[in-house]
């Protein structure tokens, strides 16, 4: 069943309501996938609401749907934010795609001393579009958000229950405290540029409460480190909400 993005969908929509896909989603449904009236499809709003619908009018400019089923998923108690330097070219787009598929909550482009890429507003919009497409593929009810580029100093002031800094030479075991009922665990991870963080940045991050975290035996490229960190955290945290765990450096 094909999935389409409809941000106007809400949990309060009554069944059998008629909804319209926007021009881009309509074109994809009719011209690219060649769906016909009467076919079943899935829609989501990127904020936890997903629905089943029947395609009624197959027009590539504004395809209409009839809502047949509706559900809403609460947000995860685990919220992962990656503040990462941005790699060059298509490597950045693939990084965004994979982080979105994994379930990372937010991506913040990190501007640090050795960072080369400073993403433009147009590039950030492209990243957000990639989040939508990957969420459709992965059937992810919540979109990964793309934040504005932040300086190293700005990110150091951000609040999180767990603060980590990817570092290939200095690491302590990764510890997570158990969550109480209704609590949210916010994790903030710093991923440096190709040349790594400067010594001053490392010391400032430590002073700001960030724990050095080594999760691979070698030095990784930006996008590899970001995806590896996201995968490890999503795997451990999303299955360990009721208990603490120790994960030694690998």
State the pLDDT at residue 175: 63
For residue 104, the SS3 value is coil
pLDDT value of residue 203: 96
In this predicted structure, what is the pLDDT of residue 76? Answer: 84
Which ranges of the chain have pLDDT less than 70? 59-60, 170-183, 237-250
Q: What is the rounded radius of gyration, in angstroms, for the C-alpha atoms of the chain?
A: 20
Confidence at residue 168, expressed as pLDDT on a 0 to 100 scale: 84
pLDDT the model gives residue 239: 63
C-alpha closest to that of 189 among 47, 114, 85: 85
Look at residue 178 in the predicted model and tell me its pLDDT: 57
Burial of 229 (0-12, 13-18, 19+ CB in 10 A): buried
State residue 179's pLDDT score: 53
What tokens does 153 get? 């100093």
Q: 0.85 exceeded by the pTM?
A: yes
Taking alpha carbons only, the member of 85, 100, 9, 91 closest to residue 50 is 9
Given this model, what pLDDT does residue 246 score? 38
Contact 79, 142 (CB under 8 A): no
What residue has token string 């990639």?
A: 130
Q: Lay out the sheet containing 40-44: strands in order across.
A: 3-5, 40-44, 49-57, 64-72, 18-20
pLDDT in tens, 125-177: 999 999 999 999 999 999 999 999 999 999 999 999 999 999 988 666 566 65
Tens digits of per-residue pLDDT, 227-247? 999 998 888 766 654 443 333
| Domain annotation for the chain: domains and CATH numbers | 3-72 (2.40.240.20), 78-247 (3.40.1280.10)
pLDDT in the model for residue 159: 93
Q: What is the pLDDT of residue 248?
A: 34
| Bridge-based pairing state of the strands 18-20 and 40-44 | unpaired
Structure tokens at 88: 């060059």
- pLDDT at res. 60: 61
In order of 18, 51, 124, 126, 222, the CA distances from 46 in angstroms are: 19, 12, 17, 16, 27
The pLDDT value recorded for residue 41 is 95
Residue 110: closest CA among 92, 84, 74: 84
Q: What does the alpha-carbon distance between residue 106 and residue 35 come to, in Å, rounded to a whole number?
A: 33
pLDDT value, residue 62: 82
């Amino acid at each position: 069943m094909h999935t389409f993005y409809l941000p106007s969908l809400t949990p309060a929509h009554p069944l059998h309501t008629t909804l319209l896909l926007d021009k881009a989603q309509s074109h994809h449904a009719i011209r690219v996938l060649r769906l016909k009236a009467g076919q079943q499809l899935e829609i989501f709003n990127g904020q936890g609401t997903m629905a089943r619908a029947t395609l009624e009018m197959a027009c590539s400019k504004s395809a209409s749907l009839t809502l047949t089923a509706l559900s809403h998923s609460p947000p995860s108690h685990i919220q992962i934010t990656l503040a990462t330097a941005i790699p060059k070219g298509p490597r950045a787009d693939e990084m965004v795609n994979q982080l979105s598929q994994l379930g990372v909550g937010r991506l913040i482009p990190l501007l640090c001393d050795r960072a080369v890429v400073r993403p433009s507003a147009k590039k950030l919009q492209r990243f957000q579009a990639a989040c939508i497409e990957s969420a459709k593929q992965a059937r992810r009810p919540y979109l990964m958000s793309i934040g504005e580029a932040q300086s190293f100093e700005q990110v150091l002031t951000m609040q999180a229950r767990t603060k980590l800094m990817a570092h290939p030479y200095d690491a302590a075991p990764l510890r997570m405290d158990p969550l109480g009922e209704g609590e949210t665990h916010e994790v903030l991870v710093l991923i440096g540029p190709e040349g790594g963080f400067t010594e001053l940045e490392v010391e400032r991050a430590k002073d700001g409460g960030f724990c050095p975290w080594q999760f691979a035996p070698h030095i990784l490229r930006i996008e590899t480190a970001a995806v590896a960190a996201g995968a490890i955290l999503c795997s451990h945290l999303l299955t360990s909400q009721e208990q603490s765990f120790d994960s030694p450096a690998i």
